[in-house]
Structure 1
């Protein structure tokens, strides 16, 4: 484990959010669905905003199967107000891919996950790390800020050169 990992994990154990609605046990059937959905919803949106949207969405579509059976219009209706409607369309498309190509089971292969609609490397890393306990990097906005400060990286973390360094 790298020197930065232990203090960060200790901090998270003490101060991190541990009771978010998408934090389910790893071995439950909906774990990966919840992680994937929350990771997409959390892109460019604050946690406090996402909680109610997540709970509402899960109430209407509690499983991958129920989401796959839903029309795109009903998915978009439950997404209303969260913005970035292409994310809702990608979720619906990806869910159908999971149902048809992976027999309703989320794939555990990094390359196959990043090939899904709306899923990039960081989101794929989060899904594999959180749901399947695989070691993949998660480079979301918060991680970029922490690493930039810790390593005193020059330049904004949104710049291509800085991202490569991170």
Structure 2
């Protein structure tokens, strides 16, 4: 939070808010610092190579955010003179910026009276008013309540204070109600167990998809990698060769789908949970000669794999085949 009288940098606010979507502060901190060291301004990020941005983002997840991050930086640099719009509507016209992010930037960076509603604020508001409607149906009421509470004076500080309150006091489990400034007015505390708020709709079981991943290693201890297509899930990221991910029980997850003929060994299965489905990959490993493996990929030394734009699921697959591949990261 910026100190009173100090205006927050819109670039810093935008970058942090995008990174914090579906991700914890603890996980984001190192990435935020890395991005600012590599690209101190939005113009620097706009002129960065796409591949470098994806590499720097690797491991943070939800990779569409990284692609939109680059597109948004380009839009700000090329169409707005390097300055972020200072209104919610203007901000929402930029790639990857939705209602919440626009409100947060408008309030924190430009001191606009915007209703900022993240997961922490949802929890505070749902308990303060004992909102019975489950998420996400309760969001409109929550946003309306926040709009009423938001003061004309220092709305950005109010937004950050509410987020901090939810993160440190009004926590999901064992909230410190005795320390809460809203204690005397909290309806959930007076009528029910605050931990039961916000109400949540029953979760549907995530569908299961299956696939195979092939980790080829040559005599120089290099791994064969390739780049995924730019569109779709994990678009533009780096991967080891593999099959499509299918929900069919008879999906192609065996050696029959090998990318090239080699003495493949079964290394077992890894699991990874995405937002909308669970993935189980059968992992195979083979020591091969480079001849006969020509294609659209390249050979990357194991010691430099950490510098590649490998998403977590691919790191899991490689680690299943080469246990010490990412030892330096652990």
The bucket for the TM-score relative to the shorter chain is: 0.7 to 0.9
Partner Cα separation in structure 1 for residue 77 and residue 136 of structure 2: 37
Report the equivalent of 1:3: none
Partner Cα separation in structure 2 for residue 109 and residue 165 of structure 1: 22
Alpha-carbon shift at residue 124 of structure 1 (Å): 0.6
Q: TM-score, normalised by structure 2?
A: 0.41
Report the equivalent of 2:163: none
Partner Cα separation in structure 2 for residue 43 and residue 59 of structure 1: 21
Alpha-carbon shift at residue 46 of structure 1 (Å): 0.6
Partner Cα separation in structure 1 for residue 59 and residue 78 of structure 2: 29
Structure 1 counterpart of 2:113, from 124, 132, 135: 135
Partner Cα separation in structure 2 for residue 165 and residue 66 of structure 1: 40
Q: Deviations over 1:104-159 (max 9, x none)?
A: 11111211211211111111111011111111011100011110000000032x22
Tell me which protein shows more helix as a share of its residues. 1
Report the equivalent of 2:7: 26
Query: Runs in 1 of length 4+ with deviation above 3 angstroms?
Result: none
Report the equivalent of 2:140: 164
Figure out how many residues of one structure are paired with residues of the other and give that number: 139
- Does residue 80 in structure 1 map to residue 58 in structure 2? yes
Report the equivalent of 1:7: none
Q: Deviations over 1:70-122 (max 9, x none)?
A: 01111111101101111011010011111111111111121121121111111
Partner Cα separation in structure 1 for residue 139 and residue 41 of structure 2: 35
Runs of at least 5 residues in structure 2 that lack an aligned partner in the other structure:
143-330
- Does residue 65 in structure 1 map to residue 43 in structure 2? yes
Alpha-carbon shift at residue 61 of structure 1 (Å): 0.9
Which has the greater radius of gyration? 2
